[in-house]
Amino acid sequence: MTIASSRAGAATEDTKGGPAVALRGVSKRYAGENGVLALDGITLDAAPGEFVCLVGASGCGKSTLLNLASGLDEPTGGTVSVAGDAAFMFQDHALFPWLSAVDNVAMPLRLKGVRKQERLAEAREYLSAVHLEEFADRRPHELSGGMRQRVALARTLATQAPVLLMDEPFGALDAMTRDLLHDELESIWRTRGLTVLFVTHNVREAVRLGDRVVLLSSRPGRVVAEYPVDVPRPRRIEDPDVAALAGEITVALRKEVARHGA
């Protein structure tokens, strides 16, 4: 599923050269005062055009953080601001099965009131960006899993949002398909100057894609450490420098998991 949201006050931040995404002392507690504390005092920025990857143990609040950034949920404490619109891409592609690929991609444009001929032409351009122009008239059941995720990515781009929030979008794919989608996402990110917040359980994937990797603690989620990724692009997931940094982050992640278990 792709969801686009607009946050108030964003244009002012952007013109001042501020962050594209800014969380200040953000906490989230579910089910009232005695409920589960998912996030505790998170302060995190993403600069315009930056690719930030979030890693952490299951249940540490990574998805909750994206929900707050998208406006799908509200923080219990602290503030969240996003410069312009944000589009949310989930692990499940959630394409409409009765619609063709091009009609799925055109849906955000349809919701904006773009005329049919114009939106279909534009949707085909987005499909071309993910190398699926030849499959525009196919329905989801006629596409492979990787192709369906590429259609979902094209639909996310069709929101025309400058900020992409991605919650393990490639987690269910095989290694080869995931590697190809890494290349496509990186190319689109660089070409369009997007800001990306990308949640993943795969530490190597985080280092492969990110300008910076942020490690969250076990619940309640707090920022434990941030790792700038100084490995030159283009990168491969099997590169020794990618593996070395991923190994360092994995050691820290294991300590967090062990601490939570204890």
Q: What is the pLDDT of residues 182-204, one digit of tens each?
A: 999 999 999 999 999 999 999 99
- Give per-residue pLDDT as tens, 41-87: 999 999 999 999 999 988 788 999 999 999 999 999 999 999 989 99
Burial 73-105 (b: 16+ CB within 10 A, else e): bebbebebbbbbbbbbbbbebbbeeeebbbbbb
Q: Which domains does the chain have, with CATH numbers?
A: 2-19+37-95+162-261 (3.40.50.300)
Give pLDDT, residue 10: 36
Q: Quick one: CA torsion of 245, 248, 252, 37, rounded to 10 degrees?
A: 0
Angle at 224 between CA 220 and CA 227, to 5 degrees: 140
Token representation of residue 241: 């420098």
d(CA 195, CA 48): 5
Give pLDDT, residue 13: 40
Task: Report in angstroms the alpha-carbon separations of 241 from 204, 211, 226, 232, 245.
Answer: 10, 14, 17, 9, 6
Instruction: Determine the residue type at 134.
Output: E
pTM of full prediction above 0.75: yes
d(CA 114, CA 108): 9
Task: Report in angstroms the alpha-carbon separations of 72 from 7, 180, 216.
Answer: 11, 30, 21
Confidence of residue 260 (pLDDT cuts 50, 70, 90): low
Sole residue written with tokens 């904006």:
112
Lowest mean pLDDT among 90-94, 108-112, 134-138, 187-191: 90-94
Asked if the model's pLDDT at residue 31 lies above 80, the reply is no
Torsion sign across C-alpha atoms 251, 216, 30, 93: negative
- Identify whether 48 is preceded by a cis peptide bond (ω within 30 of 0): no
